[in-house]
């Protein structure tokens, strides 16, 4: 019962609306026919219940024919014919949108009539309808283009860069090779072969910057949201009219240009593979950083936004929106992939490794998103190839680094026995590799029959439990150690060989313990290297102080302390003084940068030399002091010697200027 009542009310209300509309039209009987037709069209656009008013009433109050309905719509369309003088301006799509609504309603009217006329033989009206639609689509195609262009939102790169979190790592990069020396206090002028170091000031502007991470809340508007409804209305008519191809062409062309402009704003240039491979390293490094940022922004924000835009504008036309999206983004994506490919097949050199790994990481994330967004098999296949190529480039570059360490053959020894640039180079490099362990563990392959694993089998570490990265790094550090032992042989002074080895191996141990390397290589590895340092210290004492201590022996001086030969004693004291002064002169110029090692060496020397000197003085000092010119032979007290030992290993050469004692 309630349903019947509601239906009656609705029907009655519609009748009243139609009756009122008919009265309005009838009141215009004395006006020109064109004015009445315009009024009919306006009324039909105000209320969907009046959509059939042109079939209910004509200019004289009678039912309108299909021809008259068509004529009204045709008139509106021809009024905006792109070739006519009065239609050079665009339709008003803003404010109330009366012009655009009227135009779209006219198109709908003709399309509806065409559906009705398609089963009839009135070819004249059908031909006119097709012609009108052609005119209308020409206009809509232009309107579609203008609305797209007018409402494109320029990319705000500054805002996006502000949402990027960067991770800076202490690994300076410069020139054509990696520059090391993060612990240096001054420039090194020595020839370090391919490996250099530089001052703290230089380092302040050189570091490796990890790939960016976009803020989860970052977003981008590609088109003014207010224009989306207008674009959807136009696209719907073009697709319904059979002008889908033209619609796709306009959309993809305009949006493709917009994405190209985005790449320009992000600093991405159109470069061929050959051009990329000719770029010198500093410039290439900057371009690689910009590429990493651009891939993050393009795939994460711009392409996702473009996909959403297509979904809104081409709602209900799945095939069309898929084609539009693919055609729009293909050029932009391929330009990015071309640069990635150029880097992947470029010359492999150690300084590129970390930037390539950054590119690999960002490309891996991008591929996962592209496989969801893009259905173009060519684009996805190319993206997979680029990712694979970057992975191979990373492995090849790592191998180049290993080869560089093994084959580094600089022949000039480091002055003062300090830490070799090769050691700094390798350990700074290795520390940074650890930060990429997750990626490298996926890429690096270790074969059990690889000759490189021989050092691991000779090591007491359990190499079978190590990750691929840890095993390769262990091989690398072992190779470094072997190289350092060879370089130590460049020193003619055997004692300086051991100072050099202590400095360098301790530096390696400190870098391992001060980073995640310690967890990778294990405590046993660290303990073994510390044991080696102690062995080097023992060898140093033997090589440097044996001759000094021999001067303080009893043998060869003529018997007991009471009847020892005064001449022999004077010779012993004279020889001791000469040996000590020579060691002082030489070894004050040697440098042990680590304060703890420096102190431990001084203590070890003091524990061997000072007690022996005190004992010798106690037994034989009186015999020399009681003679003439005693100050010429007994020049130092034990306390003097102990104080002089504090000057050793500071890297500042000194000479003892002793005021001889007066003869007693």
- Prediction pTM value: 0.76
462 pLDDT higher than 60: no
> What is the distance between the alpha carbons of residues 566 and 560, in angstroms, rounded to a whole number?
12
Weakest-pLDDT range from 325-334, 408-417, 483-492? 408-417
Weakest-pLDDT range from 158-172, 173-187, 298-312, 324-338? 173-187
pLDDT given at position 79: 79
Which residues 6+ apart lie within 8 Å of 199 measured at CB? 184, 185, 186, 187
481 pLDDT higher than 80: yes
Assign 3-class secondary structure to 144-166.
Answer: HHHHHHHCECCCCHHHHHHCEEC
pLDDT digits (tens, 9 = 90+) for 305-364: 999 999 999 988 899 999 999 999 999 999 999 999 999 999 988 989 999 999 999 999
Weakest-pLDDT range from 17-21, 99-103, 654-658? 17-21
SS3 267: coil
> What is the distance between the alpha carbons of residues 423 and 363, in angstroms, rounded to a whole number?
32
pLDDT given at position 177: 43
Other C-beta atoms within 10 Å of 33: how many?
13
Other C-beta atoms within 10 Å of 89: how many?
8
Q: Are 366 and 383 in contact (CB under 8 A)?
A: yes
pLDDT digits (tens, 9 = 90+) for 558-572: 655 555 677 888 888
Full DSSP string of 528-576: HHHHHHHHHHHHHHHHHHHHHHHTT-STTS-SSTTT--HHHHHHHHHHH
Spatial CA neighbour of 529 closest among 460, 433, 431: 460
The residues that bridge with 75 in the sheet, in sequence order, are none
Full DSSP string of 31-43: S-HHHHHHHHHHH
Instruction: Give the end-to-end CA distance of the chain in Å, rounded to a whole number.
Output: 142
| pLDDT-based confidence at residue 37 (cuts at 50, 70, 90) | low
The residues that bridge with 208 in the sheet, in sequence order, are 169
Averaged pLDDT for residues 459-481: 80
457 pLDDT higher than 60: no
> What is the distance between the alpha carbons of residues 660 and 632, in angstroms, rounded to a whole number?
6
Q: Are 624 and 634 in contact (CB under 8 A)?
A: yes
pLDDT given at position 173: 41
Share of the chain above pLDDT 90, in %: 46
Other C-beta atoms within 10 Å of 272: how many?
11
For all residues of the chain together, what is the average pLDDT? 79
Share of the chain above pLDDT 70, in %: 71
Give me the count of residues in the chain.
Answer: 664
Q: Are 342 and 277 in contact (CB under 8 A)?
A: yes
Full DSSP string of 225-241: GGGHHHHHHHHHHHHHT
Averaged pLDDT for residues 249-263: 95
> What is the distance between the alpha carbons of residues 359 and 289, in angstroms, rounded to a whole number?
8
Q: How many helices (H) and strands (E) does the chain have?
A: 26, 6
Give residue 423's Cα distance to chain centre: 26
Averaged pLDDT for residues 135-156: 89
pLDDT digits (tens, 9 = 90+) for 509-526: 999 987 788 888 888 889
**Structural domains in the chain?**
157-162+217-407 (1.20.1280.170), 421-449+464-646 (1.20.1280.170)
| pLDDT-based confidence at residue 93 (cuts at 50, 70, 90) | low
171 pLDDT higher than 50: no
pLDDT given at position 513: 87
> What is the distance between the alpha carbons of residues 659 and 632, in angstroms, rounded to a whole number?
9
């Amino acid at each position: 019962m309630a349903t019947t009542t509601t239906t009656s009310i609705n029907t009655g209300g519609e009748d009243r609306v139609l009756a009122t509309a008919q009265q309005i039209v009838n009141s215009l009987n004395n006006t020109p026919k064109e004015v009445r037709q315009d009024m009919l069209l306006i009324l039909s656009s105000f209320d969907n219940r009046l959509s059939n008013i042109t079939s209910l009433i004509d200019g004289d109050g009678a039912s309108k024919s299909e021809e008259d309905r068509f004529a009204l719509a045709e008139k509106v369309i021809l009024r905006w014919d792109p070739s006519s003088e009065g239609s050079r301006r665009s339709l008003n799509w803003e404010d109330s949108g009366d012009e655009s609504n009227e135009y779209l309603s006219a198109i709908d009217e003709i399309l509806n009539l065409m559906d009705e006329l398609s089963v009839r033989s009135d070819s004249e009206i059908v031909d006119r309808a097709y012609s009108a639609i052609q005119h209308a689509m020409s206009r809509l195609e232009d309107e579609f283009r203008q609305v797209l262009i007018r409402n494109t939102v320029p990319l705000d790169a500054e805002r996006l860069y502000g949402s990027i979190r960067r991770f800076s790592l202490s690994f300076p990069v410069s020139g054509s090779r990696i520059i090391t020396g993060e612990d240096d206090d001054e420039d090194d002028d020595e020839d370090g072969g391919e490996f250099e170091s530089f001052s703290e000031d230089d380092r302040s502007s050189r570091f490796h910057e990890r790939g960016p991470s976009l803020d989860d809340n970052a977003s981008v508007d590609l088109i003014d949201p207010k224009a989306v409804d207008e674009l959807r209305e136009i696209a719907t008519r073009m697709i319904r009219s059979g002008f889908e191809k033209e619609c796709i062409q306009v959309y993809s062309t305009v949006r493709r240009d917009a994405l190209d402009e985005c790449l320009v704003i992000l600093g991405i240039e159109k470069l061929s593979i050959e051009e990329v491979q000719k770029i010198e390293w500093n410039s290439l490094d900057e371009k690689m950083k910009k590429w990493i940022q651009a891939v993050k922004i393009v795939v994460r924000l711009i392409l996702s936004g473009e996909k959403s835009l297509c979904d809104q504008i081409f709602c209900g036309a799945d095939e069309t929106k898929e084609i539009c999206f693919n055609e729009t983004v293909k050029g932009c994506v391929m330009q990015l992939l071309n640069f990635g490919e150029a880097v992947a097949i470029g010359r492999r050199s150690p300084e590129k490794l970390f930037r390539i790994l950054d590119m690999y990481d960002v490309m891996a994330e991008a591929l996962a998103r592209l496989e969801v967004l893009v259905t173009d098999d060519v684009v996805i296949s190319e993206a997979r190839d680029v990712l694979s190529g970057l992975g191979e480039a990373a492995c090849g570059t790592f191998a180049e680094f290993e080869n560089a360490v093994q084959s580094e053959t600089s022949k000039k020894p480091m002055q003062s026995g300090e830490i070799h640039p090769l050691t700094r180079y390798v350990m700074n490099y290795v520390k940074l590799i650890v930060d990429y362990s997750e990626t490298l563990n996926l890429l690096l392959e270790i074969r059990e029959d690889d000759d490189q694993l021989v050092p691991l089998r000779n090591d007491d570490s359990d190499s079978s439990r190590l990750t691929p990265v840890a095993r390769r790094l262990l091989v690398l550090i072992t190779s470094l150690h072997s190289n350092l032992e060879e370089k130590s042989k460049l020193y003619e002074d055997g004692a300086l060989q051991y100072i050099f080895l202590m400095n360098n191996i301790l530096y390696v141990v400190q870098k391992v313990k001060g980073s995640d390397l310690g967890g990778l290589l294990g405590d046993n590895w660290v303990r073994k290297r510390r044991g080696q340092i102690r062995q080097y210290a023992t060898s140093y004492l033997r090589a440097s102080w044996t001759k000094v201590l021999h001067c303080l022996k009893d043998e060869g001086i003529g018997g007991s302390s009471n009847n020892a030969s005064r001449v022999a004693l004077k010779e012993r004291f004279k020889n001791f003084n000469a040996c000590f002064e020579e060691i002082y002169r030489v070894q004050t110029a040697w440098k042990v940068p680590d304060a703890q090692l420096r102190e431990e060496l001084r203590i070890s020397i003091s524990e061997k030399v000072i007690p022996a000197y005190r004992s010798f003085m106690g037994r034989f000092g009186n015999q020399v002091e009681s003679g003439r010119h005693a100050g010429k032979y007994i020049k130092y007290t034990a306390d003097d010697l102990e104080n002089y030992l504090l000057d050793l290993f500071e890297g500042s050469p000194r000479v003892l200027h002793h005021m001889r004692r007066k003869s007693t």
